[in-house]
Amino acid sequence: MRTQHLHCLGPHGFHRVTYYEWGDAASARVVMCVHGLTRNGRDFDILAGALAPRFRLVCPDVTGRGLSQWLSHKQDYAYPVYLSDMAALIARTGAERVDWVGTSMGGLIGMMLAAQPESPIRRLVVNDIGPFVPRAALERLALYVGKAPRFATLDELERYLRMVMASYGALTDQQWRHLAEHSSRRDGDGLAMSYDPAIADAFASPLQDVTLWPMWDAIRCPTLVLRGKESDLLLRATAEEMTRRGPKAQVVEFAGIGHAPALMADDQIAVVRDFLDQS
């Protein structure tokens, strides 16, 4: 794994985006892996390690998360900035076409990019997100996103993650520790989560259902949708509609998982690998 940095231009100046690169830097097969709302690019370490013999993988920390810079103007934590940053990162790779694996927020970013005219997205994997997001699921996220808890030890932080991310399914102790290690930052004499609490400002306004079907209908690239069978964010009815509209996606469900599949288990990795391997 190689840790890299890119300076991206937003509405109020430049900001630094950190990303992690796996595989042969000269490979023409580039896969962008983009994480969820409060997560970071190290979530994809296991997936990237498994795919690195075949692909070059680029896994960014979206601005305000992980090692990427926190924005001084908090209103800039929004999809126009995220899309601009990811377009700059795609350009940095030098690839004419890229594949995209996006979990939750990362899936929405991928969908928005894939819906654009002349999009460089070749194949799209959308992990437990869709063009309809129910208000009830957003209200659940709002219960913990941005609350800025502090922890005395890494063990304490890991216990917190196991609670708020229980819907990820049956992760191993080693995988939970990996998530904890890369979800923490030093905060005085303790630890805090490695994201700017201000990313939750969008939850301050009254929450409503999110409907993005016109965007979905504009996507033309081959698309795979992954769904946790118990997910409250990607409803089964939404996933079924995604097979009939837009790119007419293939849907794969994983039992015993809610929001969202962690893409760490062998069966989940195999589904992604097989889809990306197609020409």
* Domain-embedded: residue 36: yes
CA terminus-to-terminus distance, the chain? 26
* Domain-embedded: residue 241: yes
- Strand arrangement, sheet containing 223-228: 2-10, 13-22, 56-60, 30-34, 98-103, 121-127, 223-228, 250-254
What is this structure's pTM?
Answer: 0.97
What is the per-residue pLDDT for 147? 85
What is the per-residue pLDDT for 148? 81
* Domain-embedded: residue 79: yes
Residues 165-171 have a mean pLDDT of 94
Structural domain boundaries, residue 82: 2-134+211-277
* Domain-embedded: residue 248: yes
Supply the CATH number for residue 103's domain: 3.40.50.1820
Residues 173-191 have a mean pLDDT of 95
* Domain-embedded: residue 59: yes
What is the per-residue pLDDT for 144? 86
* Domain-embedded: residue 150: no
Q: Where are the beta strands (DSSP E) in 156-263?
A: 184-187, 190-193, 210-211, 223-228, 250-254
Q: How many domains are contained in the chain?
A: 1
What is the per-residue pLDDT for 205? 77
* Domain-embedded: residue 120: yes
What is the per-residue pLDDT for 14? 98
* Domain-embedded: residue 198: no
Residues 13-57 have pLDDT tens digits of 999 999 999 999 999 899 999 999 999 999 999 999 999 999 999
Q: Are 136 and 234 in contact (CB under 8 A)?
A: no
User: And the tokens for 157?
Assistant: 């932080």
Looking at the predicted structure, is the pLDDT value of residue 203 above 80? no
Q: Are 216 and 243 in contact (CB under 8 A)?
A: no
Q: Are 262 and 44 in contact (CB under 8 A)?
A: no
What percent of the chain shows pLDDT beyond 70? 100
